[in-house]
Amino acid sequence: MTPAAFAAWLAFMRSTRKWSGAKCAVALGVHGNQIKRWRDNGAPPYVGLACSAIAQGLPPWETSQP
């Protein structure tokens, strides 16, 4: 995920959900400092997938017992 794409996701979450960078960090399961690093340097591909899932409002993946 490029720095521009990650910054765009942050902007999207701020404008549509009113989420702070700290709330985005919690949703991604990382420290707030990591958000800054990803905004400056880009993020691994799996973070892009997580950002898409969060933006779509998908819940965490869980298995269910039959």
Question: Is 14 a domain residue?
Answer: yes
| pLDDT value, residue 17 | 96
pLDDT per residue over 45-59, tens digit each? 999 999 999 999 998
Question: Is 66 a domain residue?
Answer: no
Question: Is 60 a domain residue?
Answer: no
Q: How confident is the model at residue 65 (pLDDT cuts 50, 70, 90)?
A: low
Question: Is 65 a domain residue?
Answer: no
What is the residue range of 48's domain?
3-55
Domain count, the chain: 1
Predicted TM-score (pTM) of the model is 0.88
Secondary structure of 1-64 as H, E, C letters: CCHHHHHHHHHHHHHHHCCCHHHHHHHHCCCHHHHHHHHHHCCCHHHHHHHHHHHCCCCCCCCC
Question: Is 21 a domain residue?
Answer: yes
